[in-house]
């Protein structure tokens, strides 16, 4: 066993200056007895919360021989359509592209909320936000909610999480949790948790493990470190950059950008993706180096995307209800158990990950609202066959029951929410938005100018995404029957689930972390 690192109480303060990549204020050491949340400092820079001592893990019964590892990689604020393997015209993602070639890529994966904590809780639990009750950043995930790490840990796996800028986020039920240090830039936070994850995988390569890694790189401010800062747009000399101040000014003042200005900001965002891609490569290389690649199932996805000025002069994500923030990448690689190089076209939801992946590696997952996609993963469609509506017949005789509130017009639909105010439904062909109170979301960026009307969303919106992928041509008036059909399906879904926000207190550490991310002032 390596020597025990020195005890250190880590200051939970994400200063606003750090978001712009400036030097952080010095940390403050305190008497460890002043706080009952002791942390260790990992040699790679991340803080550690040890929930289960190594000696206790060693006493834990092993899973069955041949059990697979699970590596879940989530990336904050990552649009699917800014990855090369999803058709983007820049080489933003060579390592992620290689993962897609070796695995199965889902063409239409949809997030359940364009906000980090609710979405990640849905990924981990297989439940919608209104069921697991993490409805906003700052809500706590109940320890009674089953999650992938919690279930695998109960079956003998050793479990860890390594998450950037998530020190106060919901505990997924792991043995040890690594969190990036407060007060440093996003790139450095990502490097810290990647180093911690690599070291942990090396340490536990001899027994089955589950590891969740969350990287924050593409989140605003768009300020990649060299060499990625000018990777895609080195010659820009205009007035705008990817700082939060710059983005807030554009949105709050409704500034019309010249094409070259918008292209520069997008290039900075793409540079962050390229930097994140390199760290994903470090994680995947560790599987090869430790000899566990062939017995590790890898899931790669994102919590949500980023608006990038597509609507309402808005760059960020939490207020939007469209594909720019809800269409996310999803790739699953499982050597020896899943065919590689395939693309699955029908719509899926991020809540499908848990009830699909755990049974795939031999552990049942009960209580999820997502669908076990095993029949879809096993299907071998004819090469070059056109995309078809959700093939429900694949589930016949599989022993997997499909829910009856997730289909309309022969297609599977996904659902996302903005708290209890707005719902949106997405099929392979359509996007429908239901905003009965004509509520306009107001994040902090829409409170800078007094009287700002907020992020505009109409009472009802309909888009034929099959031929309008940017969702610009609103059709609810010209397609009233289609709108009615989707509205009825959405309201039927909602009527089966609770619709009440549970007010919860937020501690000061959580408030500081969310303030540093720009979610609150």
The CA-based angle 109-216-101, given to 5 degrees, is 45
List of residues 6+ apart from 124 with CB closer than 8 A: 141, 147, 148, 149, 172, 212, 354
pLDDT at 43: 62
Predicted local confidence at residue 42, as pLDDT: 61
pLDDT attached to residue 519: 45
Block residue for tokens 């059709």 = 475
Residues in the chain: 521
The model's pTM is: 0.88
- Taking the C-alpha atoms of residue 257 and residue 39, their distance in angstroms, rounded to an integer, is 46
Going by DSSP bridges, is the β-strand pair 158-163/209-215 parallel, antiparallel, or unpaired? parallel
Integer Cα distance of 249 and 246 in angstroms: 5
CATH of domain 407-495: 3.30.1120
Q: Where do the structural domains in the chain lie, given as residue ranges?
A: 7-21+38-56+66-403, 407-495
Give me the residue label for tokens 């747009």.
233
CA–CA gap between residue 241 and residue 244 (Å, rounded): 9
- Residue 393: what pLDDT? 87
Cα-Cα-Cα-Cα dihedral sign, residues 401, 404, 410, 412 = negative
Mark the ranges of the chain whose per-residue pLDDT is less than 70. Answer: 1-44, 168, 170, 381-388, 498-507, 509-521
Contacts of 131 (CB under 8 A, 6+ apart): 369, 497, 498
Q: Is the peptide bond before 227 cis (omega within 30 degrees of 0)?
A: yes
- Quick one: pLDDT at residue 163? 93
- Closest of 413, 391, 416 to residue 404, by C-alpha: 413
DSSP string, 360-402: HTT----S-SS---HHHHH--PPTTPPP-S--GGGGTTSSPPP
Q: How far is 128 from 30, CA to CA, in rounded Å?
A: 40
pLDDT score for 391: 85
Domain 7-21+38-56+66-403, classified CATH 3.40.630.30, yes or no: no
Question: How far, rounded to the nearest angstrom, does the alpha carbon of residue 191 sit from its chain's CA centroid?
Answer: 18
């Amino acid at each position: 066993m390596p020597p025990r690192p020195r005890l250190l109480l880590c200051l939970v303060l994400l200063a606003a200056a750090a978001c712009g990549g400036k030097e952080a204020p010095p940390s403050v050491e305190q008497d460890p007895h002043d706080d009952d949340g002791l942390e260790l400092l990992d040699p790679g820079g991340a803080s550690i919360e040890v929930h289960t001592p190594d000696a206790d893990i060693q006493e834990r019964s092993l899973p069955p021989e041949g059990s697979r590892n699970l590596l879940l990689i989530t990336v904050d604020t990552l649009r699917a359509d800014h990855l090369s393997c999803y058709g983007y015209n820049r080489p933003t993602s060579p390592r992620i592209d290689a993962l897609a070639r070796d695995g199965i890529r889902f063409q239409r994966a949809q997030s359940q909320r364009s906000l980090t904590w609710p979405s990640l809780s849905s990924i981990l639990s297989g439940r919608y936000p209104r069921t697991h009750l993490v409805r906003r950043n700052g809500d706590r995930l109940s320890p009674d909610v089953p999650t992938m790490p919690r279930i695998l840990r109960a079956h003998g796996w050793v479990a860890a999480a390594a998450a950037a800028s998530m020190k106060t986020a919901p505990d997924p039920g792991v043995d040890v949790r690594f969190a990036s240090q407060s007060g440093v830039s996003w790139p450095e936070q990502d490097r810290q948790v990647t180093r911690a994850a690599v070291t942990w995988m090396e340490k536990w390569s001899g027994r089955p493990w589950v590891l969740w890694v969350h990287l924050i790189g593409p989140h605003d401010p768009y300020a990649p470190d060299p060499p990625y800062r000018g990777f895609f747009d080195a010659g820009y000399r205009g007035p705008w950059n990817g700082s939060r101040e710059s983005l807030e000014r554009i949105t709050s003042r409704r500034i019309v950008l010249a094409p070259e200005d918008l292209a520069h900001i997008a290039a900075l965002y793409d540079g962050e993706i390229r930097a994140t891609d390199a760290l994903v490569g470090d994680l995947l290389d560790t599987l090869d180096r430790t000899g566990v690649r062939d017995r590790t199932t890898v899931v790669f996805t994102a919590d949500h995307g980023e608006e990038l000025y597509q609507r309402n002069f808005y760059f960020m994500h939490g207020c939007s209800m469209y594909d720019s923030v809800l269409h996310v990448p999803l790739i699953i690689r499982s050597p020896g158990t899943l065919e590689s190089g395939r693309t699955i076209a029908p719509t899926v939801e991020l809540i499908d990950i848990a009830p699909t992946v755990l049974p795939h590696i031999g552990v049942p997952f009960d209580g999820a609202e997502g669908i076990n996609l095993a029949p879809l993963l096993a299907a071998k469609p004819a090469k070059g066959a056109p995309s078809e509506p959700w093939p429900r017949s694949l589930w016949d005789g599989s022993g997997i029951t499909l829910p009856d509130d997730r289909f309309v017009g022969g297609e599977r639909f996904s659902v996302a929410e903005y708290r209890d105010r707005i719902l949106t439904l997405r099929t392979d062909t359509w996007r429908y938005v239901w905003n009965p109170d004509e509520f306009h979301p107001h994040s902090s960026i829409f409170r800078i100018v007094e009287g700002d009307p907020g992020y505009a969303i109409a009472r009802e919106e309909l888009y034929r995404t099959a031929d309008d992928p940017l969702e610009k041509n609103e059709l609810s008036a010209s397609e009233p029957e289609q709108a009615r059909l989707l509205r009825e399906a959405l309201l039927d879904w909602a009527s089966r689930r609770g619709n009440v926000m549970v007010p919860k207190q937020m501690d000061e550490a959580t408030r500081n972390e969310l303030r540093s991310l720009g979610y609150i002032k």
